[in-house]
Structure 1
Amino acid sequence: MAEILRMPEVLAGASEASIQTWLVSQGSMLVVDQPIAEIETEKATVELTAEFAGAVGRILVPEGDNVSVGDPIAVLLGEGEAEDAIEAALAGAGLSAAVTPKSAPQTSEPTGQPASGAEGLPPNGRVAHALPGVGDSGRRFMSPLVRRLARQHGVDLASVPGTGPGGRIVRRDLDRHLAEPDEKTQPSAAIEPPPEPRPKAPLTAPGPVSAAFEDVPLDRMRKAIARRLTESKSTVPHFYLTAHCRTDALLALRRQVNETGTRKVSINDFVIKAVAGALVDVPEANAIWIGEAIRRYSSVDISVAVATDGGLTTPVLRSVERMPLSEVSAAIADLAERGRSGRLRQHELEGGSFSVSNLGMYGTTEFTAILNPPQSGILAIGAAHPAAVVGPDGELAVGTIMSVTLSADHRVLDGAVGAQWLAAFQRRIENPLSILI
């Protein structure tokens, strides 16, 4: 039976996403887990895969369109089904067979451009223009992700040929352009600037002229971060516990590992393994809040905070307790690289019971982090720095100290459980051989 493929909720709390690239065409045969489309979300580009074998009967949403979660985007056919099955599936979903569902306005469409599915468009919902990829105003079409990456690399999109529908510039076009000789990727003064913010009326009585300023428009990722963190801070009862870990033995062990190993490991790699070990030691902390219950996990999946140009993203490292240190190091590096380039997959952004946020590389010695619901905790890691310490016999010496702060959800963890977990983490950091065993 023909099925309507709908836009999934690829990120918790997301209300819409956009089709960046269709990886199949109408009539394409599908196998289970075959990538169907690349979906641009607020934080990354993820792949949508086929859940059953069959064929693509009809594509309902063109590339670049924003679509609300749950909206139809395509019709998939089972074995032996024909065109009449498409009509029946659309009718069963309350959709007109001749018109595609109306999607949210495109960020790159000129004023006056009809939205997809509006009266007068062809049955596939795509807009025809006299010039490929150019609207009535002469403005070229591209996804928001392409526009952002072009600014980062200093690429003049006027010189990039588009291979998407109607000449739309899609991610693969930009990647191909960046791989060409350097003279084609030099910064150009013709890069389209962001739209000028509309001036707002002053909120206070006129007074002395203040310093110059710029209002930076919010992109989808920044809006998502603002919404999620506001929700977390206002609805989750946080409590905080801090420990000061002596890291002299850890630093010495890291030097030994890097002298003999084939891959250089970082302090953060040891920290991730220590977090996983502490969650094994205190399994009550390896849990999430699901409203009517507390869900505890038997394996340890940890979200690792990665700073990107657009904001913070948190890909998930799975079964960390079973991974050797070198594998943890390689996996974190891979997730971080693909997170910064917007190439994370959907499953890599889902799940996890605990997060780690490390600002030590910026010289920050101590901070607190905001929880990532529904996870039970996030550990904020500061920079290791010299400090006065008291030895076992009461003697005063200089040691290396790393301050860490646990932010915990009091609905999931009581203070005593949080303290037990933090003590287990500190033991592993100060006795680092336990991390490798």
Structure 2
Amino acid sequence: MPIAIQMPALSPTMEEGTLAKWLVKVGDKVSSGDIMAEIETDKATMEFEAVDEGTIAHIQVEEGTEGVKVGTVIATLAEEGEDVGEVEPVDGGSAAPAPAAKEEKPAPEAPAEPAKAKPRENAEPARAPVSDDVEAGPAPTKDGERILASPLARRIAEQKGLDLTTIKGSGPNGRIVKADVENAKPEAAAPASTATEKEMAPAVEQKPAKAQDYGIPHEVEKLSSMRKTIARRLTESKQQVPHIYLTVDIRLDALLKLRGELNKALEPQEIKLSVNDMLIKALAKSLEQVPACNVQFAGDTMLKFSRADISVAVSIPNGLITPIVKDAGSKAMSKISTEMKDLATRAKDGKLAPEEFQGGTASLSNMGMFGIKQFEAVINPPQAMIMAIGAGEKRPYVIDDSLQVATVMSATGSFDHRAIDGADGAQLMKVFKELVESPLGLVA
């Protein structure tokens, strides 16, 4: 009996992914544990292993297909003894979201004057900003004939300044639906609305219009799943999370001296601590000492964590990923260094397991190696804080009431003000500064 190979859920939150690459072809025999394909999620490209044994009879989703829903049948496997040529593909699911608009019932003939109320029709999906069963005003006409268009299509056309008489409908009887308006070219401009109409029209969330190139040579690059997720999550963060920023200047001389001594002692083990490794430990210890900042806002509740798992921002070719150093406060800095090198290497190769980058109680982002003096990082929801590290540089600094030269860096904490009060955030920054300036506490 043919076996359906379905799109796997490679993480607890995965709903869809991109079938990046097939590593088998029709006619290939596979055994349990063989790598069949590479699946791109919103965070990494992961390998998909075979569970059953057999021969690939059909590949139903081509490589490069985006938006493949979890559970969709992507291939059919013939069992031992079955003739591959006679095996029919197993049905189930759809490979990607259908681009066409949902089919709607034809609109009834309307009187010359618009009706005050309109019977409910098949609506657009609930996620649309405006429901399709809300009347959007009189239907436009062309040469005295009524233009068939859904209320939602008319509303979007009005907001985007499009002329429905220039748009060809794809619905029943040529009816113009939401997808037709969204795909319409900008030149299908409608006459300007009066000031009164503009004031009365409710606000509608619009998709950005087609980019204007102004005749400048350019390339069009398709967004990866990761970049789409970064765009969505960071937009949500800035819109929904009230950020508060607190900055301190920190002397690094003592930390740099301790780092040199520790690296000399660790030479036989071929371990070399970075400043970032030591700052990860400092942030974790700070969160343990100021537990009011080791929290997450969760609607009507607050999550208070008993350990500090630090998500560390790592730049990779397709964007950014945050592998996690778990329970960093209790680990030796040599252990943190070893883990971070392994996590960063596998992050850049897209080989992290979901549990290695999903979670974390706080984040650390270090741009000092790029010479950035100071910056304010965007919180990574649902976390409630992130520490942004700038470059260490020689600066005039008052030491023991005298002006001297010291190696100083600026660190900025971004805090979710729903969960963390300014005083608690300030206390965390104070403890972090003290630990870095008196770093023996990091090896205690």
Give the SS at the match of 1:261.
Answer: helix
Distance, in Å, in 1 between the alignment partners of 2:275 and 2:282 is 10
Any conservation in 2 of the 1:369–1:378 contact (CA below 8 Å)? yes
Distance, in Å, in 2 between the alignment partners of 1:319 and 1:47 is 28
Of 304, 328, 331, which aligns to 1:320? 328
Map residues 362-373 of structure 1 onto 2, 5 A cutoff: 362-373=370-381
1:166-209 per-position Cα deviation (integer Å, ceiling 9, x unaligned): xxxxxxxxxxxxxxxxxxxxxxxxxxxxxxxxxx9799xxxxx9
Any conservation in 1 of the 2:242–2:418 contact (CA below 8 Å)? yes
Aligned residues: 316
Any conservation in 1 of the 2:245–2:414 contact (CA below 8 Å)? yes
**C-alpha distance 336-435 of structure 1, shift in aligned 2 (>3 A):** same
Read off the aligned partner of 2:262 and give its amino acid letter. V
**C-alpha distance 20-27 of structure 1, shift in aligned 2 (>3 A):** closer
Q: Report the counterpart of residue 71 of structure 1 in structure 2.
A: 71
Map residues 242-257 of structure 1 onto 2, 5 A cutoff: 242-257=247-262
**C-alpha distance 374-286 of structure 1, shift in aligned 2 (>3 A):** same
Map residues 413-432 of structure 1 onto 2, 5 A cutoff: 413-432=420-439
Percentage of matched positions with identical amino acids = 38
Query: Is the counterpart of residue 18 in structure 1 residue 10 in structure 2?
Result: no
**C-alpha distance 99-211 of structure 1, shift in aligned 2 (>3 A):** closer
Give the SS at the match of 1:234.
Answer: helix
Q: Report the counterpart of residue 178 of structure 2 in structure 1.
A: none
How far 1:285 sits from its partner (Å)? 1.6
How far 1:224 sits from its partner (Å)? 2.0
**C-alpha distance 211-327 of structure 1, shift in aligned 2 (>3 A):** farther
Q: Radius of gyration: which is bigger?
A: 2
Any conservation in 1 of the 2:14–2:70 contact (CA below 8 Å)? no
TM-score, with normalisation over the residues of structure 1? 0.63
Any conservation in 2 of the 1:243–1:404 contact (CA below 8 Å)? yes
Of 416, 422, 428, which aligns to 1:409? 416
TM-score, with normalisation over the residues of structure 2? 0.62
1:385-427 per-position Cα deviation (integer Å, ceiling 9, x unaligned): 11111123x1111111110000111122111111111111111
Map residues 26-425 of structure 1 onto 2, 5 A cutoff: 28=31, 38-47=38-47, 55=52, 62=61, 64=63, 65-73=65-73, 98-104=90-96, 212-220=216-224, 221-262=226-267, 263-392=271-400, 394-425=401-432
Q: Report the counterpart of residue 132 of structure 2 in structure 1.
A: none
Q: Where in structure 1 are there 5+ consecutive unaligned residues?
A: 77-82, 84-95, 107-199, 204-208
**C-alpha distance 318-418 of structure 1, shift in aligned 2 (>3 A):** same
1:249-300 per-position Cα deviation (integer Å, ceiling 9, x unaligned): 0111111112221211111111001011111111222222333322122222
1:32-91 per-position Cα deviation (integer Å, ceiling 9, x unaligned): xx98864211331135689xxx85799986563445444344899xxxxxx9xxxxxxxx
**C-alpha distance 268-370 of structure 1, shift in aligned 2 (>3 A):** same
Q: Report the counterpart of residue 148 of structure 1 in structure 2.
A: none
Q: Where in structure 2 are there 5+ consecutive unaligned residues?
A: 77-81, 83-87, 99-184, 189-212
How far 1:99 sits from its partner (Å)? 1.9
Read off the aligned partner of 1:227 and give its amino acid letter. R
Give the SS at the match of 1:307.
Answer: strand
Give the SS at the match of 2:404.
Answer: strand
Any conservation in 1 of the 2:4–2:90 contact (CA below 8 Å)? no
Distance, in Å, in 1 between the alignment partners of 2:296 and 2:21 is 32
1:312-349 per-position Cα deviation (integer Å, ceiling 9, x unaligned): 11111212122211111121111112222222222212
Q: Report the counterpart of residue 197 of structure 1 in structure 2.
A: none
How far 1:105 sits from its partner (Å)? 8.0
Read off the aligned partner of 2:272 and give its amino acid letter. K
**C-alpha distance 22-217 of structure 1, shift in aligned 2 (>3 A):** closer
